């Protein structure tokens, strides 16, 4: 059977976006052209593939079954072609999709964007949510180039590189009425706390560290991103326990004060993961080296 292979990248982007307008924009196509391609693919597959809903398109069971096969085939073709190509960062013109957790997005991404603006101005980043598990990031399928954060129980097709370790400290408002030069364990336990909820199983990390040290804390408010913490702490008597590199960014805020944790809470790893198909991709290898170098500049150990 003969069919147009150009239809399958359209299908993959539609599966990712679940929206014709966004998919057409990503592909550089008009919406009528994309709809025509989808209709042709429906004829080839013999299935509607997508059902229109109020806020987008829902894939049919046949589309869900087809996606991993098509994505794997396209990835193999991309890998074979790219491995034969030289990569020049100064002239590169492409978009790279990365899934950083909120910590990496806050700490590392600004430096990465700054570095790319100097050495690879045509290399553009598309950040997607870290998600509740690796499958949701797109890293397991290879649709997302890299995942950055703490990677727990990676599948066999994901390569993981250790970038660095970070510790924990505490942030309070500068004129906090109860806190002097240090936080004692008793004072720490008597305060109300702001907690950052990272996705998935990482939510338990700080709670486990506190439990191991025999510390308790009363969480008054939980937020989803580090950006919310300084605004809350600056106008309350709450305390936030945050990564050291996040605290370093907050030192410039005169409303806040950074103090050592009342006990040593240990460290946590920051890791970089990518699908095995990117192992020999020249552009991917170059970007991995840039990220590892930036992590090293923070004082962590890069693999």
| pLDDT at 82 (0 to 100) | 65
Q: How many CA atoms lie within 13 A of 212 on its CB side?
A: 11
**C-alpha distance from residue 68 to each of 140, 197, 233 (Å):** 10, 31, 45
Average pLDDT over residues 157-166: 93
The CATH number of the domain holding residue 224 is: 3.40.190.10
Looking at the domain assignment, is residue 212 inside a domain?
yes
| pLDDT at 186 (0 to 100) | 96
Looking at the domain assignment, is residue 88 inside a domain?
no
Among residues 47, 82, 117, the one where a domain terminates is 82
Q: Which helix (H) or strand (E) holds 171?
A: strand 168-173
| pLDDT at 201 (0 to 100) | 47
Q: Which domain holds residue 67?
A: 7-82
The angle, 0 to 180 degrees and rounded to 10, between the axes of the packed helices 20-27 and 31-45 is: 100
| pLDDT at 300 (0 to 100) | 47
In the chain, what percentage of residues exceed pLDDT 70?
A: 92
Query: Does residue 302 surpass a pLDDT of 50?
Result: no
- Same domain (yes/no): 192, 258: yes
76 pLDDT band (50/70/90 cuts)? confident
299 pLDDT band (50/70/90 cuts)? low
The rounded mean pLDDT for the chain is: 88
Residue with tokens 């706390």: 193
Looking at the domain assignment, is residue 275 inside a domain?
yes
- Same domain (yes/no): 149, 261: no
Average pLDDT over residues 148-152: 89
Average pLDDT over residues 112-137: 87
- Same domain (yes/no): 145, 282: yes
- Same domain (yes/no): 45, 28: yes
The CATH number of the domain holding residue 37 is: 1.10.10.10
Higher pLDDT, 72 or 214: 214
Q: Tell me the whole-structure pTM to 2 decimals.
A: 0.71
| pLDDT at 222 (0 to 100) | 93
Looking at the domain assignment, is residue 89 inside a domain?
no
| C-alpha dihedral sign at 143, 147, 150, 155 | positive
Q: How many CA atoms lie within 13 A of 18 on its CB side?
A: 11
């Amino acid at each position: 059977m003969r069919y147009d292979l150009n239809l399958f990248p359209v299908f993959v982007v539609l599966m990712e976006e679940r929206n014709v307008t966004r998919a057409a924009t990503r592909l550089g196509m008009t919406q009528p052209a994309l709809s025509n391609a989808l209709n042709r693919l429906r004829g080839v597959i013999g299935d509607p593939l997508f059902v229109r809903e109020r806020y987008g398109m829902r894939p049919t069971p046949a589309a869900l079954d087809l996606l991993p096969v098509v994505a794997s085939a396209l990835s193999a073709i991309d890998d074979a072609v790219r491995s034969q190509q030289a990569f020049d960062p100064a002239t590169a013109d492409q978009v790279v999709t990365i899934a950083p957790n909120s910590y990496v997005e806050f700490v590392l991404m600004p430096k990465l964007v700054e570095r790319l603006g100097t050495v690879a101005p045509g290399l553009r980043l598309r950040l997607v949510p870290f998600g509740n598990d690796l499958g949701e990031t797109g890293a397991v399928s290879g649709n997302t180039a890299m995942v950055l954060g703490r990677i727990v129980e990676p599948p066999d097709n994901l390569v993981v590189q250790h970038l660095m370790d970070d510790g924990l400290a505490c942030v309070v408002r500068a004129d906090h009425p109860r806190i002097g030069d240090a936080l004692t364990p008793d004072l720490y336990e008597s305060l109300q706390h702001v907690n950052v909820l990272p996705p998935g199983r990482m939510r338990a990390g700080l709670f486990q560290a506190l439990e191991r040290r025999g510390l308790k804390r009363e969480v008054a408010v939980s937020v989803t991103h580090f950006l919310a913490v300084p605004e809350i702490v600056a106008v309350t008597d709450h305390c936030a326990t945050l990564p050291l590199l996040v605290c370093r960014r907050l030192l410039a805020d005169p409303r806040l004060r950074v103090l050592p944790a009342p006990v040593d809470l240990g460290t946590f790893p920051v890791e970089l993961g990518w699908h095995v198909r990117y192992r020999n991709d020249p552009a991917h290898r170059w970007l991995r080296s840039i990220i590892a170098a930036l992590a090293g500049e923070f004082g962590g150990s890069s693999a």
